[in-house]
Homo-oligomer: A and B are copies of this chain.
Amino acid sequence: MISLQTERRAQPRNPLSRERVLLAAIAFADDKGIESLSMRKLGQVLGVEAMSLYKHVANKEDMLDGMVDVVFSEMDLPPQGVHWKTAMRLRAVSAREVLSLHPWAIGLTDSRMKPGPANLRHHDSVIGCLRAAGFSIEMAIHAYSALDSYIYGFALQEQSLPFETRDEIGEVAESMLQQFPADDYPYLAETIVEHINKSGWEYGDEFAFGLDLVLDGLERLRDKPS
């Protein structure tokens, strides 16, 4: 009896916490995909019954919100003390990197309606960087909207590509070209055959092109009234 107690105290169950739940859920989603993340399976991973999770999380929606905010907290904020373009580029690259590490996050749009503290902190920091660089409030809003649209849109497209590695591109391209008569979509076929399928093309490399397009455009407009 007493020995049992001491044994138990020797290895005390370290209790769950909201943070442990969120981190486990993120790891699960990264690994097996968000669509197969269920409360029961997550409980199993944590050595716990499903209902125990509800002591640390209001419900699944709340858990997803929390997961998204953790993801936001992983993104670098724009560093201070450097040119605004450099700062914006660094935070954009970091944001894309994080979003591609957690591809499920971009799809949880419900969660973005209730932004968590990390999300708000991120927004504030970006706007602050732009304002400090001399952007008017109006231009800062324009700039933020344009940049974030591009970043999230790129992450969304990257995630929904039907291939993940370079090797897969060839297979997918081939099977696509077989499916349609190749005359139905001539330009698409040309693009695939002539370029995508050759050389070391990777979609990820496209990110910098569009990002610089937006940043250069913003620089030109910075001081114009709009």
Which A residues form the contact surface with B (CB < 8 A)? 35, 106-107, 109-110, 112-114, 120-121, 123-125, 127-128, 131, 137-138, 140-142, 145-146, 148-154, 156-157, 159-162, 180, 184-188, 190-191, 194-196, 203, 206, 209-210, 213-214, 216-218, 221, 226
Describe A's contact surface by its main secondary structure: helix
Q: Tell me if A156 and B160 are in contact (CB < 8 A).
A: no
Tell me which of B106, B120, B151, B154 contacts A180 (CB under 8 A).
B120
Q: List 14 A-B contacts (CB under 8 A).
A: A35-B110, A113-B162, A121-B185, A123-B185, A123-B188, A124-B187, A125-B187, A137-B190, A137-B194, A145-B154, A145-B157, A149-B154, A152-B152, A216-B217
Could you tell me the distance in whole angstroms from the C-beta of A87 to the nearest C-beta in chain B?
14
The CA of A125 and the CA of B180, in the complex, are separated in Å by 15
- Taking CB as reference atom, which chain B residue is nearest A162? B113
Stoichiometry (number of copies): 2
The 8 nearest A-B residue pairs measured at CB: A153-B153, A146-B210, A149-B153, A124-B185, A213-B217, A112-B160, A149-B154, A127-B187
The CA of A201 and the CA of B118, in the complex, are separated in Å by 26
Q: Tell me if B145 and A203 are in contact (CB < 8 A).
A: yes
**Chain B residues near A137 (CB-CB < 8 A):** 190-191, 194-195
Could you tell me the distance in whole angstroms from the C-beta of A204 to the nearest C-beta in chain B?
11
Tell me which of B110, B142, B217 contacts A217 (CB under 8 A).
B217
Could you tell me the distance in whole angstroms from the C-beta of A76 to the nearest C-beta in chain B?
17
Q: Tell me if B109 and A162 are in contact (CB < 8 A).
A: no
